[in-house]
Amino acid sequence: MIAVIQRVSESSVTINGEVTGSIGLGLMVLLGIEEADLQEDIDWLSRKIIHLRIFPDENGVMNKSVLEATGDILLISQFTLHASIKKGNRPSYIKAAKPDFAIPMYEQFIKALENELGKPIQTGEFGADMKVALVNDGPVTIMIDSKNRV
C-alpha cells in the first residue's frame, strides 16, 4: 500500500459536479492498493497516518498528530500511485490491485482510519472520475509505502 499524505487547511472531492466529501484542517490521503497488500498493511499504515506528527504545536514545531490537532481526513483511492514507467513513457498499472480485491481493502482501510481517529472520515468513490481540490498547508506532503517499513 502506498499513501501520499498532505496536511491541508481544506480539501474536497467532487464527483459529477457534486461535492461528495470535504474537510477543513486535516489530512488528504491518496491511497494505492496492490494485490500483495494484507490486513497488516492496513493496520500498520492507518496507525502511521493517524499518529504522524506533522501538525504544529504551540511553538510552531511539527509535533502533533491529526488526532491531537482534532483534524479530519479525506481519503481518495488512487491506483496511479502504483504506476511503473520503467519502459517508455506510458505508465503501466500492472502492480495496482484489480477492483475485486482493492474495493474490500479500501473499505477496510476506511474502517481502520475511523477506528484510529475515533470519528468518521470523508472519502471519494472508488473508481469514479473525481476532482480533488486542496490547499496544502505548509506545504507538507509525505509518501509512505507499507512495503518499505524499515
Q: What pLDDT score was predicted for residue 87?
A: 87
How many angstroms separate the most distant Cα atoms in the chain?
48
Q: What pLDDT score was predicted for residue 149?
A: 80
Contacts (Cβ under 8 Å, ≥6 apart) of 100: none
Q: What pLDDT score was predicted for residue 88?
A: 86
Three-state DSSP class for 127?
Answer: coil
CA dihedral 116, 97, 93, 20 (to 10 degrees): -50
- Per the structure, how many domains does the chain have? 1
Tell me if the pTM is above 0.85.
yes
74, pLDDT greater than 80? yes
Instruction: Single out the catalytic residue among 14, 20, 70, 80.
Output: 80
Domain harbouring 55, CATH code: 3.50.80.10
Question: Cβ of 6: how many Cβ atoms within 10 Å?
Answer: 21
Mean pLDDT of 101-128: 96
Cell of 148: 518499505
Residue 109 annotated among the catalytic residues of the structure: no
Q: What pLDDT score was predicted for residue 105?
A: 97
Residue 101 annotated among the catalytic residues of the structure: no
Instruction: Single out the catalytic residue among 78, 109, 122, 123.
Output: 78
Residue 150 counted as domain residue: no
Residue 123 annotated among the catalytic residues of the structure: no
Three-state DSSP class for 75?
Answer: strand
Domain range for 60 is 2-145
